[in-house]
Amino acid sequence: MTWSLAAATALVGVLTAASSVAVSPGGVYPRDISDVCNQIKAAITNDSAVEFSLLDFNPTYNKDVGHWMTSSSQQAACSVEPGTAEDVGKILQILGDTNTPFAVKGGGHASNPGWSSTTGVQIAMYRFGEVNYDSTTNTVTVGAGLIWDDVYAGLEEHEVMVVGGRVTGVGVAGFTLGGGFSWKTNQFGLTVDNLSGYELVLANGSVLSVTAESYPDLFFGLKGGYNNFGIVTRFVLNTHPQGQVWGGLITITANHADEVTAATLKFQNSVSDPKAAILPTYNFLIGSLGVSLLMFYDGPTPPAGIFDDFLAIPYFTKDVSTRSFVDLVQVSPANATGGQRGIFHTVSVLEYTPAIMAAVKNESEFWGERLSLTASGSFISYDVEPFLSSLFSHAPEGSSAYPPSRAQGLLPLNIYYAWTLAAYDDVMHDAARQSAAQLTAVVEAEGQDIAGAALYGNYAMFDTPLERLYGDNIAKLQAIRATYDPNGVMALAGGWKF
If pLDDT is split at 50, 70 and 90, which confidence band does 72 have? very high
Can you give the pLDDT at residue 338?
78
Q: Residue 439: pLDDT above 70?
A: yes
Q: How far is CA 193 from the centre of its chain?
A: 16
Can you give the pLDDT at residue 57?
84
Pair 202, 465: CB distance under 8 Å: no
Can you give the pLDDT at residue 426?
97
Pair 178, 228: CB distance under 8 Å: no
Can you give the pLDDT at residue 31?
55
If pLDDT is split at 50, 70 and 90, which confidence band does 11 have? very low
β-pairing, 102-105 with 139-143? unpaired
Q: What gap in Å lies between CA 128 and CA 373, rounded to an integer? A: 43
Can you give the pLDDT at residue 74?
96
Closest CA to 492 of 233, 232, 227: 227
Can you give the pLDDT at residue 21?
32
Let me know if 86 is exposed, middle or buried by CB neighbors in 10 A (0-12, 13-18, 19+): middle
Can you give the pLDDT at residue 15?
31
Residues 385-416 have pLDDT tens digits of 999 999 999 999 999 999 999 999 999 999 99
If pLDDT is split at 50, 70 and 90, which confidence band does 9 have? very low
Q: What gap in Å lies between CA 469 and CA 456, rounded to an integer? A: 6
- Other Cβ atoms closer than 10 A to 169: 18
Residues 18-42 have pLDDT tens digits of 333 333 333 333 358 999 999 999 9
- Could you give all domains of the chain from N- to C-terminal order, each with its CATH number? 5-127 (3.30.43.10), 131-242 (3.30.465.10), 245-467 (3.40.462.20)
Q: Residue 3: pLDDT above 50?
A: no
Pair 143, 233: CB distance under 8 Å: yes
Q: Residue 227: pLDDT above 60?
A: yes
Q: What gap in Å lies between CA 214 and CA 211, rounded to an integer? A: 5
pLDDT, the chain, mean = 93
* Least confident range of 27-41, 237-251, 308-322, 351-365: 27-41
Over residues 221-249, the mean pLDDT reads 98
Pair 151, 234: CB distance under 8 Å: no
Residues 101-136 have pLDDT tens digits of 999 999 999 999 999 999 999 999 999 999 999 999
Q: Residue 2: pLDDT above 70?
A: no
Over residues 456-470, the mean pLDDT reads 98
Q: What gap in Å lies between CA 36 and CA 43, rounded to an integer? A: 11
Over residues 434-455, the mean pLDDT reads 97
**Three-state SS letters, the chain:** CCCCHHHHHHHHHCCCCCCEEEEECCEEEEECHHHHHHHHHHHCCCCCEEECCCCCCCHHHHHHHCCCCHHHCCCCCEEEECCCHHHHHHHHHHHHHHCCCEEEECCCCCCCCCCCCCCCEEEECCCCCCEEEECCCCEEEEECCCEHHHHHHHHHCCCEECCCCCCCCCEHHHHHHHCCCCCCHHHHCCHHHHEEEEEEECCCCCEEEECCCCCHHHHHHHCCCCCCCCEEEEEEEECEECCCEEEEEEEEEHHHHHHHHHHHHHHHHHCCCCCEEEEEEEEEECCEEEEEEEEEECCCCCCCCCCHHHHCCCCCEEEEEEECHHHHHHCCCHHHHCCCEEEEEEEEECCCCHHHHHHHHHHHHHHHHHHHHHCCEEEEEEECCCCCCCCCCCCCCCCCCCCCCCCCCCEEEEEEEEECCHHHHHHHHHHHHHHHHHHHHHHHHCCCCCCCCCCCCCCCCCCCCCHHHHHHHHHHHHHHHHHHCCCCHHHHCCCCCC
Can you give the pLDDT at residue 84?
98
Q: Residue 369: pLDDT above 50?
A: yes
Q: Is 201 left (phi over 0), alpha (psi -120 to 50) or beta?
A: beta
* Least confident range of 50-59, 73-82, 262-271: 50-59
Q: What gap in Å lies between CA 481 and CA 143, rounded to an integer? A: 23
Can you give the pLDDT at residue 32?
82
Can you give the pLDDT at residue 463?
97
Q: What gap in Å lies between CA 468 and CA 459, rounded to an integer? A: 12
Closest CA to 76 of 36, 125, 119: 119
